[in-house]
Chain A
Amino acid sequence: MSATTEQTAEPTGRLSTVRVLATNPVTVVSAVVLAAVVVVALLAPWVAPYGVNAVDVANALQPPSAAHWFGTDDLGRDLFSRVVVAARVSLQVAVVSVAFAFVVGVAVGVVSGYVGGVVDTVLMRVVDVMFAFPVLLLALAIVAILQPGMATTMLAIGIVYTPIFARVARASTLSVRNEPYVQVARTMGVSGRSILGRHVLPNITGPLIVQTSLSLAFAILSEAALSFLGLGIQPPAPSWGGMLFAAQGFLSQAWWMSVFPGAAIFVTVLAFNLLGDGLRDVLDPKQRTLIESRRRR
């Protein structure tokens, strides 16, 4: 009797990744929202009805109206225009700094976990030292050496988030490296580099994607904290975090000053997280078969 008669889960006609992603309504909505945020950020100068720093003290602290959709701040600047322009700054800082942390952290973590021994000990002690520094102190030191500004902010946040990625990547690598399929690859004489690239990295993407979407969210908030201390984005250039902090003093008089930048952060972060979940499922062949079979029904 041939082996094909054994019971198996039937493979399905394969769909492109985008088609599979499109089967999940939550993923689609989050992708659309993110795309909208990016488009608005890119077209900010044309979308914004007023100048970012057009001061109009006569109209200070106006609640939302037809003229000022999100109201105005204590200097009479149009909040809608500022939220729109700030989208560019905040997204750029978040994406660039997390990309930096991801690349450096994952490289360190995977090598540390796979090679082990002295290399692991040394790399992990360095990571421990970085963890031991309070975030702001580390950022302060970096800004003290370089000039405050957008590039420095991104570098500081990137460095601060690197050890988190290193830890996540190392822990996942440790469990994958002892899997029989990695051992078999070693007995077959497959080089260390291809084992890392073909077996280890693809199998640790799940936790890394989750960590990435969480970090994107926190990076937006970290930028806010740095900006508040005057170490990040320099006023009067707007950023969502900076606007939130500026709104603190007006919490009881002007709710709109904190609600709209806050809502922008909330929506963006949520969209990042939901898109990350959808991506993780699609990248896992097992989940993908489930999605595809559900779709066929």
Chain B
Amino acid sequence: MSAPVLQVEDLRVAIGRREIVHGLTFAVEPEATLGIVGESGSGKSLTVLAATGLLDAPGARVTGSSIVTDGERGAVELVGARPRTLRRVHGDRIGFVFQDPTTSLNPLLTLERQITESLEAHRSLTRRAAAGRALELLEAVGLPDPEQRLRAYPHQLSGGQRQRVMIAIALACDPALLVADEPTTALDVTTQAQILELVRALQRDRGTAVVWISHDLGVIGQVADDVLVLRDGEAVEHRDVVELTDDPRHPYTRELLAARPRLGVPGPPAVDADGGVLLDVVGLDVRFPVTSATGRSFVHAVDDVSFQVRRGSTLGIVGESGSGKSTIAHVLTGLARPTAGTATLAGQDVLGRVPADLRRRIAMVMQDPFSSLDPRMRAGESIAEPLRAHRLPRDGRSPRERVAELLELVDLPADFAGRYPHELSGGQRQRVSIARALALEPDLLILDESTASLDVSIQARVLDLLLRLQAELGLTFLFIAHDLAVVQQMSHDVLVMQRGRVVEHAPAAELFAEPRDPYTRALLDAIPPERPRAALERAG
């Protein structure tokens, strides 16, 4: 067997006096894929950036060794290499694809210029030869109508298409190693499935070795041959992917495997049918005007949507980005105005001018726990804000007591009231957001992707908390998510949306057992299966 493409020995990364990556050793074999998995803060990106010489943080110190080998072109040590050496290696022998396709392309350059940049730098191709190669690459990554696309700008492409272009750029010089850092995290599930398929096909054709970083074991199972599980900068387990999923040795690996959302988990306990209808939405229609140089046009965000939610139950709303699911949440909370339709909460109109006492009966928890709390307010002040706005609680207790009670309700110690958001972890922040929403004493709680940006193990705990709160307080949930597995776990009924329209609306059990609409089926098929692909391939 030939030498590994990337051989990393005792890699350590320290920032200031604090060591963040503690002596990692791993190798990436030719044509193989190493999956690096870990939760946020585990040092997975830092490790790969340091190993490839891309780490550019003030005060960072990298020690150890990282050698990239590319057939006859010899081996190069990357740790401590001079910028000149690194420039020769980056883009030529190692290609990179990062998480956010919206920001990793230059908005002012055509795709052709962005793809030919590294070809002209490393391969000294003429402009014309490079353009020809760019066309081949766009064809290889499956971009429709590649000739036209060469002259297109990034904003004219969808997120998935942009990620395809990023892959084309990374592969332009036929690198021996492709580094992919969470390349599908920002994409919809169906797009993610396409990108996974694409990378595998390209790898097969070109024999590129891949390092794939992800927080999602499901995705890693689809691409990786070996898996390195990282926690706090240390490798807790490093084994073949099939062995790792079948027989995890380290408790942390077991925890990660158990916490990942899976289809088939039983849903929430059934609710009484005699609770009646709490929320009734009829013919909701939302259009946003878009003013451009060529005139005014309308985006039809929500198109004639009707549904009912029974008191005490959860309606899951599923759809990919742009399906209009968040717009529904914004209309119900007064952040956006509908063009037509009605919505009533226990018979009272909640659109248009709504009295404060009705408004507070609908509360919302947003997706991003980092930005949905004011960075200059302590957790206690944030939770007390709705209390002050509505002069709550009205039973004579002080707001302070109520804040302590709310913190206890979401399993946080009372002294957390004095902490600022940056002193809390992502999961704790989301708990504070939930406590703030509950301060309003709402009937309906809208959860807009509220657990989507949390690590899987923390997501599992927050979901448990939500189920408990629903049982204790008799809350009704509108659970908006893109992750079908999570929706199955939480919902009594499910509404599937595509481009502003409802494509399917059925009780959860029925919908998951027997999806009727082709789009629902496509969404379900796109979920990475529980068994790693390698296991199925080996089985034959």
B139 interface residue (CB < 8 Å to A): no
Q: Is A2 an interface residue (CB 8 A)?
A: yes
Contact assessment for B418 and A11 in the assembled complex, using a CB-CB cutoff below 8 Å: yes
User: Given A11-B418, A181-B372, A187-B334, do A194 and B389 touch, yes or no (CB 8 Å)?
Assistant: yes
- The CA-CA distance from A8 to B385 in the complex, in Å, is 24
Supply 15 further A-B pairs (C-beta < 8 A) apart from A10-B423, A187-B359, A285-B420.
Answer: A3-B427, A8-B423, A180-B366, A180-B367, A180-B368, A181-B372, A184-B436, A187-B333, A187-B364, A188-B363, A190-B385, A198-B385, A199-B374, A203-B375, A284-B376
Interface residue total, chain A, C-beta cutoff 8 A: 32
Contact sample, A vs B, 14 pairs, CB 8 Å cutoff = A3-B411, A7-B41, A7-B425, A9-B423, A180-B366, A180-B372, A184-B436, A187-B364, A188-B386, A188-B440, A198-B374, A198-B385, A203-B375, A289-B423
Contact A6 B458 (CB under 8 A): yes
Name A residues whose Cβ lies closer than 8 Å to a Cβ of B: 1-4, 6-11, 14, 179-181, 183-191, 194, 198-199, 202-203, 284-286, 289
Most buried by B among A4, A8, A199: A8
Assess the A188–B458 pair: CB atoms within 8 A. Answer: no
Interface contact A188-B385, CB-CB below 8 Å:
yes
User: Roughly how many angstroms separate A191 CA and B424 CA in the complex, as a whole number?
Assistant: 27
| Contact between B420 and A203, CB atoms less than 8 A apart | no
A289 to B421, CA, bound (A): 11
Assess whether B412 is interfacial by the CB under 8 Å rule. yes
Given A184-B364, A188-B386, are A179 and B425 neighbors across the interface (CB < 8 Å)? Answer: no
Complex-state Cα separation, A202 to B377, whole angstroms = 9
Partner pick for B363 among A187, A203, A286, CB 8 A cutoff: A187
Complex CA–CA separation, A190 to B423 (angstroms): 25
Query: A181 contacts B371, CB within 8 Å?
Result: yes
User: Chain B contacts of A191 at CB under 8 A?
Assistant: 389
Q: 6 tightest CB-CB pairs across the interface, nearest first? A: A187-B333, A180-B372, A6-B425, A285-B420, A188-B386, A202-B376
- The answer to whether B389 touches A203 (Cβ under 8 A) is no
A179 to B372, CA, bound (A): 7
Contact yes or no, B389 A189, CB < 8 A: yes
The answer to whether B422 and A289 have CB atoms under 8 Å apart is yes
The answer to whether A3 touches B412 (Cβ under 8 A) is yes
Q: Is the CB of B359 within 8 A of A285?
A: no
Residues of A within 8 A of B423 (CB): 8-11, 289
Would you call B428 and A8 a contact (CB within 8 A)? yes
Contacts of B250 in A (CB 8 A): none
A202 to B426, CA, bound (A): 23
Best-surrounded residue of A4, A11, A181 (most CB of chain B within 10 A): A181
Q: Which residues of B contact A203 (CB under 8 A)?
A: 374-376
Does B492 sit within 8 A of A, measured CB to CB?
A: no
Q: Which residues of B contact A4 (CB under 8 A)?
A: 412-413, 428
Q: Count the A-B residue pairs with Cβ separation under 8 angstroms: how many?
A: 102
Task: With CB as the reference atom, state the residue of chain B lying closest to A191.
Answer: B389
Question: A10–B416 Cα gap in the complex (Å)?
Answer: 11
Chain B residues in 8 Å Cβ range of A14: 418
**Known contacts A9-B422, A10-B423, A203-B375; is A183 also within 8 Å of B335 by CB?**
yes
List residues of chain A with CB within 8 A of the CB of B390.
Answer: 189
B356 CB–A CB distance under 8 Å = yes
Q: Does B403 contact A (CB under 8 A)?
A: no
Q: With the chains together, A10 CA to B333 CA distance in Å? A: 35
Nearest residue (CB) in A for B370 is A180
Q: Does B516 contact A (CB under 8 A)?
A: no
When distances are taken between beta carbons in the complex, the residues of chain A under 8 Å from B376 are 202-203, 284-285
Q: Which residue of B lies closest to A180 (CB)?
A: B372
Contacts of A7 in B (CB 8 A): 41, 425
B377 A198 Cβ-Cβ under 8 A: yes
How near does chain B come to A284, taking the closest CB pair, in angstroms? 8
State in angstroms the CA–CA spacing of A184 and B334 once bound together.
11
A16 to B419, CA, bound (A): 16
Instruction: Check: B373 CB closer than 8 A to any chain A CB.
Output: yes
Q: Which of B41, B360, B374 contacts A181 (CB 8 A)?
A: B374
Partner of B422 from A185, A199, A286 at Cβ < 8 Å: A286
In the complex, the answer to whether B389 meets A190 with C-beta atoms within 8 Å is: yes
0 or 1 for each of B336-379: is its CB under 8 Å from A? (1 = yes): 00000000000000000000100110111011100111111100
Bound state CA distance, A14 and B360, in angstroms?
34
Tell me the bound Cα distance from A3 to B371 in angstroms: 20
**For residue B439, which residue of chain A has the nearest CB?**
A188
Q: Mark B67-91, 1 if CB is under 8 A from A, else 0.
A: 0000000000000000000000000
Which of A180, A190, A199, A203: most chain B Cβ within 10 A?
Answer: A180
Q: How far is the CA of A191 from the CA of B364 in the complex (A)?
A: 17
A residues within 8 A CB of B368?
A: 180
Q: In the complex, A23→B444 CA distance in Å?
A: 48
Residues of B within 8 Å of A190, CB to CB, are: 385-386, 389
* Contact call A189/B360, Cβ cutoff below 8 A: yes
A residues less than 8 Å from B366 (CB atoms): 180, 183-184
When distances are taken between beta carbons in the complex, the residues of chain B under 8 Å from A286 are 375, 420, 422
Q: Which residues of A contact B215 (CB under 8 A)?
A: none
Given A9-B422, A184-B364, A194-B389, A189-B359 contact (CB < 8 Å): yes
Nearest to B455 among chain A residues (CB) is: A6
CB-nearest residue of chain A to B232: A7
Please tell me if B533 contacts chain A, counting CB pairs below 8 Å: no
A186-B359 Cα distance, complex, nearest whole Å:
10
Point out the residues of chain B lying under 8 angstroms from A289, CB to CB. Answer: 420, 422-423
Interface flag for B260 (CB, 8 Å): no
The smallest beta-carbon distance between A130 and chain B, in angstroms, is 28
Which chain B residue has the least Cβ–Cβ distance from A11?
Answer: B423
Most buried by B among A3, A7, A203: A3
Task: Name the residue of chain B whose CB is nearest to the CB of A2.
Answer: B411
Distance of A285 Cα from B461 Cα, bound (Å): 28
Complex formed: what's the CA distance from A185 to B381 in Å?
A: 12
User: Whole-angstrom distance from the CB of B19 to the nearest CB of chain A?
Assistant: 16
> Given A189-B360, A285-B376, are A3 and B428 neighbors across the interface (CB < 8 Å)?
yes
B164: which A residues are within 8 A, CB to CB?
none
Q: How far is the CA of A14 from the CA of B415 in the complex (A)?
A: 13
Give the Cβ gap from A262 to chain B, nearest Cβ, in Å.
36
B354 shortest CB reach to chain A, Å: 9
Q: A3-B428, A8-B425 are in contact. Are A179 and B371 (CB under 8 A)?
A: yes
